[in-house]
Amino acid sequence: MAKLILATFAVVFLALAATSLAGDPDMLQDVCVADYNPPHTHPRATEIMFVAEGTLDVGFVTTANKLFTRTVSKGEVFVFPRGLVHFQRNSGNTSALAIAAFNSQLPGTQSIADTLFGAAPPLPSDTLARAFQVDGGMVESIKSKFPPKY
């Protein structure tokens, strides 16, 4: 009964919120088997995600570097706090469908990998090498996979 009430609340909330949403992230996310939405953040919004089909492993990292993860199944909801790095991954053997809503019309999306390794102009390689405790050659190898967007 509690799950039914929660699912009903989520559907009503998403329906009411949908009329005011105009953000750049796609609110309907179709996640194929073994696919993922890589680590990213929404600097101006909290995200609520309702799983309509399938199963997703989701998680976020707090500002104290603590990871919170959960497997979210059909009919369940998960909230990603504003500005925190988070991800979603299809952990099932069928496609998953999730509906996301934000508490801002302009939540913004910042992909962590693209931001660090595909910035234009590029971040200094020695800065990234020190941050990740690897050599400059490794940083250059990773940067080559993220061409800058001018």
Q: Which residues pair with 99 in a beta bridge?
A: 28, 50
Is 140 annotated to bind ligand? no
Residues in CB range of 49: below 8 A, 6 or more apart: 29, 56, 58, 72, 77, 78, 79, 80, 88, 98, 99, 100, 101
Is 65 annotated to bind ligand? no
Q: Please name which of 79, 6, 66, 44 lies closest in space to residue 88, comparing C-alpha atoms.
A: 79
Q: Name the residue with tokens 């559907």.
A: 11
Going along the chain from its start, the domains and CATH numbers come out as 2-106 (2.60.120.10), 118-143 (no CATH)
Is 37 annotated to bind ligand? yes
Q: What confidence score (pLDDT) does residue 148 get?
A: 78
Positions of the chain with pLDDT under 50:
11-12, 15-16, 18-24
The rounded distance, in Å, linking the Cα atoms of 21 and 126 is 40
Q: What confidence score (pLDDT) does residue 19 get?
A: 42
The model's pTM: 0.76
Q: What confidence score (pLDDT) does residue 75 get?
A: 98
Is 76 annotated to bind ligand? no
pLDDT tens column, 13-47: 554 454 444 444 555 666 676 678 899 999 999 99
